[in-house]
Amino acid sequence: MSSNITCLCRSVLPFRFVTRQVLFLQPPKFALRNSRPDLFQSSFSRTFTNPAPNESEKSKSASLAWKKWILVQNYLGSINWKDRINWKGLWRLVLGSGALVFAGDLIYLGWVTQSNERRVNKTLEKGTQPETEVSNDEFIPRPEVVEHLKNLFQPDKNHSYYHVICGEYGTGKTTLTAKEAREIGKGVIYVDVPANINKLGEEFGKALNFTFDEDAMLTLRLKRKFFGDSKDELGNSKWERAMDAFKRASEVYKAKHGKPPVIIYDNVSRLVNKNPEILDILQDDAKDNADRRKYIVVFVSNEGSVPRRMESRSAWSRAKKP
| Residue range 71-88, pLDDT digits in tens | 777 766 666 656 666 656
Calpha distance 54→73 (Å, rounded): 29
CB 180 within 8 A of CB 300: no
Domains, the chain, in order of start with CATH, read 1-46 (no CATH), 101-320 (3.40.50.300)
Calpha distance 273→182 (Å, rounded): 29
Per-residue model confidence (pLDDT) at position 220: 55
Residue 60 neighbours by CB distance under 10 Å: 11
Q: Mean pLDDT lowest for which of 29-38, 78-87, 162-171?
A: 29-38
| Residue range 106-144, pLDDT digits in tens | 666 666 778 888 989 999 999 998 987 776 666 677 888
CB 130 within 8 A of CB 188: no
Per-residue model confidence (pLDDT) at position 65: 75
CB 251 within 8 A of CB 117: no
Report the first-to-last Cα separation within the chain, whole angstroms.
Answer: 72
Alpha helices in 128-172 (DSSP H): 143-153
Calpha distance 87→93 (Å, rounded): 10
Per-residue model confidence (pLDDT) at position 113: 77
